[in-house]
Amino acid sequence: MTTLILTVLGLVAAALGAFFAYRALFPAARALDVTVLPSRSLLDTGTSANRFELRVDGETIEPDPHMVTVVVTAKGRHDIASSNFEAGRPLHLEIGSPVVKVLGVTATPQRGTTPPVTANGEGIDLGPGLISRGQAIHIQLLTGPPSTEREPNARHDLVDVRVDVTSGESARFRQPVGVRPVAIAAISGLMAGGLLAAGAFYDLADRLPGLSFDPSVAINPKLPSVGAKVRVIGANFEAGALISVDITSEVTEEDFSDVCSTQVGSEGAFVIDCTLPSDLPAGPAEMVIASTEHSGTSYEYVDFAVEAP
């Protein structure tokens, strides 16, 4: 039971390794990773907001103003072009607090014109415009206090673009992980899982005769008549080995040598039709299959019975 569990665990690990290796080596053609960093209050915690009045462009800002940074990164294999914004509609990002003003937008690396960013209610509109592969757009916003009931989310009509949104303290310290380290880790997991499964499987094969990798022989039919043809099927033999078939009658103990012969194929298997000797007595008999290999000759034995014609 332990071996079977190890086999299953190894196969699961191999499957997960294959999945993450594929994701790392072949990411989505076009993808946007949106990170909303935790907001920061512009006033000290112990300061009374009533003592100050914050104005931006002549407009009075509500008490307890905050600053929020949003990072939009193109993670896919291809650029996101203006044509990916269906009907020119922008990507709308809800950040969970009213946006007063867009303070600044920077793109790294800078390639052409950065897509426009405008405030829209409790979020921002981004685009349409070109977002190059690997480009990160940092957006600084002046907002009201954050809401504890609404999580950041995205609404969009982007064509063939996957959009993922993350937020919270973990996002502040999250660093992009390159494809190469992820791929190496995933492929290592794939190899480890495969080796675990293979080792457990071979151990299981040693315990279960039905899964043995030793040479095996079967004949058909099992109850042939004298002078009839019998098909001999072999598996797990050394490729290129010479096969010869002898038959011993258990009735008279007479040996019939070189009834038929063949050579093992490249996959370690053979199929040969042998004609039983016409003077083979009816009754129980034994078929001896000799396999001559580089290391010597080995033998396999098959018991069967012969019917009278």
E strand or H helix at 12: helix 2-25
Taking 70 as the threshold, does the pLDDT of residue 44 lie above it? no
Cα 24 to Cα 201: distance, rounded to the nearest angstrom: 28
Q: What integer best gives the mean pLDDT of the chain?
A: 80
Strand partners, 303: 286
- The pLDDT value given to residue 27: 52
Cα 35 to Cα 95: distance, rounded to the nearest angstrom: 10
pTM of the model: 0.47
Q: What is the CATH number of domain 27-168?
A: 2.60.40
- The pLDDT value given to residue 151: 84
What's the start-to-end Cα distance of the chain, in Å? 49
Q: What is the mean pLDDT of residues 149-160?
A: 86
In the CATH scheme, what is the homologous superfamily, with its name and number, of domain 216-306? Macroglobulin (MG2) domain (2.60.40.1930)
pLDDT-based confidence at 112, cuts 50/70/90?
A: confident
The tokens describing 228, both together, are 């009839």
- The pLDDT value given to residue 295: 84
Identify the CA nearest to 274 among candidates 299, 239, 306: 306
Is it true that 27-168 and 216-306 share their CATH fold?
Answer: yes
Burial letters for 7-31: b for 16+ Cβ neighbours within 10 Å, e otherwise?
A: beebbebbeebbebbeebeeeeebb
pLDDT-based confidence at 209, cuts 50/70/90?
A: very low
Alpha-helical segments (H) within 98-248: 169-173, 179-207
Taking 70 as the threshold, does the pLDDT of residue 242 lie above it? yes
Taking 60 as the threshold, does the pLDDT of residue 173 lie above it? no
Least confident of 38-52, 79-93, 119-133, 141-155: 38-52
Taking 70 as the threshold, does the pLDDT of residue 88 lie above it? yes
- The pLDDT value given to residue 208: 47
Cα 73 to Cα 47: distance, rounded to the nearest angstrom: 36
pLDDT-based confidence at 38, cuts 50/70/90?
A: confident
Q: Where are the domains of the chain?
A: 27-168, 216-306
